[in-house]
Amino acid sequence: MYTQEVTVNNEVGLHARPATFFIQKANEFKSGIWVEKEDRRVNAKSLLGVLSLGIVKGTPITLIADGGDEKEAVTALVDLVKDNFGE
């Protein structure tokens, strides 16, 4: 299991379009991947799950992956968040 915390800093947070990019990236990996905000954890490959967290600008989230490509998965998702989802 590999985890890393990152803060969402894009203007709209993790909603609609950025969430779609996030889920697409998560689905490129075989590992199980989760997003944790405070005490809630959801599947990072589920659009409804990610949207249900209500992640806004300035929110710290923890990315958790478990599997053969766990480190690569978390690193790629952290990079995506730090790059403001390419926007």
The residue behind tokens 């944790």 is 36
Range of the structural domain that residue 73 is part of? 2-86
Q: What are phi and psi for residue 73, nearest 5 degrees?
A: -65, -50
Split into its structural domains, the chain has a count of 1
Residue 56's pLDDT is: 95
Q: Is 15 considered catalytic here?
A: yes
Residue 8's pLDDT is: 96
- Apex CA 71: angle with CA 59 and CA 15, to 5°? 30
Residue 87 has pLDDT above 80, yes or no: no
Question: What's 39's domain CATH number?
Answer: 3.30.1340.10
Which residue out of 15, 20, 47, 84 is catalytically annotated?
15
Q: Is there a contact between 55 and 12 (Cβ–Cβ < 8 Å)?
A: no
What does pLDDT average to over the chain? 96
Q: What is the pLDDT of residues 9-33, one digit of tens each?
A: 999 898 889 999 999 999 999 999 9
Q: What is the pLDDT of residues 29-64, one digit of tens each?
A: 999 999 999 999 999 999 999 999 999 999 999 999
